A = this chain, B = another copy of it.
């Protein structure tokens, strides 16, 4: 086996480990927010207001799933739905103040966890690792994400 093949296997193995851990912790990421609702909330913030259908498309989720997540986030007071005056079928989603706060808080606590985990890494390794991950994720969707 070539060096490159060995490396690919190691990448596969480590990505699988990470994916498994991710899966295990996704539901209890934060008392307030699961991994899914965190990412949805984050997208609503970044986009500055988007539709449920945008979330479904972006995250490859069924519209019914998004509908229920949105319902839950609204019940929790983290987002609000504003009916588009141009098209009454559309609800534009916005963070509430509470939603923005929680999102910021969760982002900070996640960041602190990552910082801690990466605390002893030399800067050069951090930047290279970040570049590799970006490159990996930017790749075409294949069975390796992480199928």
Contacts and interface: CB of A to CB of B under 8 A. Distances in A.
A21 interface: yes
A39 B11 contact: no
A144 interface: yes
Integer count of this chain's copies in the complex? 2
Which residue, A11, A18, A36, has most C-beta atoms of chain B within 10 A?
Answer: A11
Main secondary structure of the interface of A (DSSP, over half): helix
A116 B143 CA distance: 9
Interface string A78-91: 00000000000000
B8 A114 contact: yes
B146 A4 contact: no
Contacts of A25: 145-147
Nearest to A16: B39
A7 B116 contact: no
Please give me the 9 A-B residue pairs with the lowest Cβ-Cβ distance, nearest first. A19-B22, A113-B143, A14-B133, A7-B126, A10-B130, A113-B144, A117-B144, A129-B132, A7-B130
Interface of A: 2-12, 14-26, 28-30, 35-36, 38-39, 59-61, 109-118, 121, 123, 125-130, 132-137, 139-140, 142-147
